[in-house]
């Protein structure tokens, strides 16, 4: 039932894509709309054939492509035949073989009018894989195809350059990883988007995506807080660049929560040293919490712990012992 749901999503999305403006390479450099190069009637005919494929009507689609070739004989050639072959596999829901066929097509025919359509089909297949569509391994075993989806999306981004489908592929990759709870990998995908498109709407989305996924990847005070510190820097940069949107997203409150988490992290380290009898180290962390985050809940708790440390003879002894260790370490480093 779940697989059927994913197939339905693909079908619906494919139908929308099929009626959208199609892009292809012109002169090997720029992307332009097909209707600018070959006429809106041609574009409509292609869209209709693609929609038949999207809804699984392969027989009608095959006939539509044959009529397309008859009406526009200039499109006949190896590229058209290869594209239609891939389309038939897609219409039969043989997504693995279809993805491979589209991949071979885009490798061999980068100048084809159907190049962008093939990339869009690959993206639809990859999206299904990334959101849980299973494939058959060893003819009987059903497995998730996350890795295959990742690979396809990266290939699309590499081949498409600055085309809209490249941006969409990487953003889909980032969002799908976050949805699965793989937040650090989602951050890496957003980072890739940011490196490619650091400005504009896409750059803005990527900056927020990096901040958010790193924040989500933090597992609590018992773990490394570097990801949280990096998240804070991204959120701060976002607030600086896009103050109005940051207000709508309540980034200030998010930053306050991050500060509380950072304070809690250092308090947790201080408490660990306190429990193990390393009072000097505990004192150092408590003082840091109080000084760095004076208004935090952790700061009040640190002050209470500092009161418990008062009068402990061990602090004086450890102060002297640890000072000797530091002096010895410094002497050895300078030798």
Q: What string of DSSP letters covers 46-69?
A: HHHHHHHHHTT-HHHHHHHHHHHH
The answer to whether residues 19 and 45 belong to one domain is yes
**Does the residue 3 lie in any domain?**
yes
Of the residues 249, 265, 292, which one is the last residue of a structural domain?
249
Rounded Cα distance between 43 and 50, Å, is 11
Map tokens 């209707």 to a residue. 35
Place of tokens 């070739």: 69
In a domain, 220, yes or no: yes
Judge if 79 and 2 occupy the same domain: yes
Same domain membership, residue 8 and residue 145: yes
- Residue 67 CA to residue 41 CA, distance in Å, equals 13
Question: Token pair 């009161």 is at which residue?
Answer: 307
- pLDDT of amino acid 318: 57
Q: In the chain, where do the E strands start and end?
A: 23-26, 30-33, 134-137, 141-144
Residues 2 and 127 in one domain: yes
Asked if residue 310 and residue 207 are part of one domain, the reply reads no
Low-confidence ranges of the chain (pLDDT < 50): 1-38, 326-335
Query: Which of 149, 175, 201 is where one domain is finished?
Result: 175
DSSP state at residue 22: P
Are 292 and 199 in the same domain? no
In a domain, 101, yes or no: yes
Give pLDDT, residue 108: 96
Are 142 and 108 spatial neighbours (Cβ–Cβ below 8 Å)? no
Domain for residue 79, yes or no? yes
Confidence at residue 320, expressed as pLDDT on a 0 to 100 scale? 56
Q: Is residue 262 part of a domain?
A: no
My answer on whether 147 and 223 are in the same domain is no
Task: Tell me how crowded residue 223 is: count the other CB atoms within 10 A of its CB.
Answer: 13
Q: Do 168 and 302 fall into the same domain?
A: no
Give per-residue pLDDT as tens, 110-137.
Answer: 999 999 999 999 999 999 999 999 998 8
Is 18 a member of any domain? yes
- At residue 327, the pLDDT reads 45
CA 230-231-233 angle, to 5 degrees, is: 65
Question: What whole-number distance in Å separates Cα of residue 225 and Cα of residue 203?
Answer: 25
Between the alpha carbon of residue 176 and those of residues 73, 127, 264, the distances in Å are 41, 8, 30
CA–CA distance, 132 with 143 (Å, rounded to integer):
9
314 in a structural domain: yes
In a domain, 259, yes or no: no
Give the distance between the most distant pair of CA atoms in the chain: 96
Residue 52's domain comprises: 1-175
Where is the domain boundary, 175, 205, 220?
A: 175
Closest by CA position to 165, among listed 208, 121, 130, 133 = 121
Question: What is the rounded distance in angstroms from the CA atom of residue 264 to the CA atom of residue 187?
Answer: 24
Would you state the pLDDT for residue 184?
95
What's the pLDDT score for residue 2?
44
Q: What is the pLDDT of residue 313?
A: 52
Domain total in the chain: 3
């Amino acid at each position: 039932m779940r697989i059927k749901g994913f197939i339905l999503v693909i079908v619906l999305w494919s139908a929308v894509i099929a009626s959208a403006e199609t892009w292809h390479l012109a002169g090997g450099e720029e992307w332009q709309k097909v209707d600018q190069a070959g006429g809106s009637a041609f574009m409509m005919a292609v869209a209709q054939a693609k929609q038949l494929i999207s809804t699984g009507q392969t027989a009608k689609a095959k006939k539509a492509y044959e009529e397309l070739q008859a009406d526009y004989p200039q499109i006949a050639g190896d590229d058209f035949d290869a594209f239609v072959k891939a389309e038939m596999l897609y219409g039969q829901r043989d997504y693995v073989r279809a993805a491979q066929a589209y991949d071979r097509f885009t490798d061999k025919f980068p100048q084809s009018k159907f190049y962008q359509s093939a990339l869009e089909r690959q993206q639809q297949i990859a999206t299904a894989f990334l959101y849980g569509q299973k494939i058959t391994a060893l003819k009987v075993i059903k497995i998730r195809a996350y890795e295959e989806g990742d690979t396809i999306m990266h290939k699309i981004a590499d081949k498409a350059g600055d085309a809209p489908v490249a941006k969409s592929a990487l953003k889909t990759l980032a969002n799908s990883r976050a949805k699965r709870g793989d937040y650090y990998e989602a951050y890496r995908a957003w980072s890739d988007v940011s490196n490619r498109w650091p400005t504009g709407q896409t750059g803005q989305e990527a900056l927020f995506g990096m901040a958010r996924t790193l924040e989500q990847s933090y597992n609590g005070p018992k773990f490394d807080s570097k990801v949280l510190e990096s998240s804070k820097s991204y959120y701060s940069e976002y607030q600086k660049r896009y103050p109005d949107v940051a207000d709508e997203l309540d980034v200030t409150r998010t930053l306050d929560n991050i500060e509380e988490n950072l304070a809690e992290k250092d308090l947790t380290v201080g408490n660990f040293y306190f429990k193990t009898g390393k009072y000097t180290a505990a004192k150092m962390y408590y003082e840091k919490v109080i000084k760095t985050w004076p208004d935090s809940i952790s700061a009040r708790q640190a002050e209470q712990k500092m009161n418990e440390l008062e009068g402990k003879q061990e602090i004086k002894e450890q102060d002297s012992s640890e000072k000797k260790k530091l002096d010895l370490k410094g002497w050895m480093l300078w030798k």
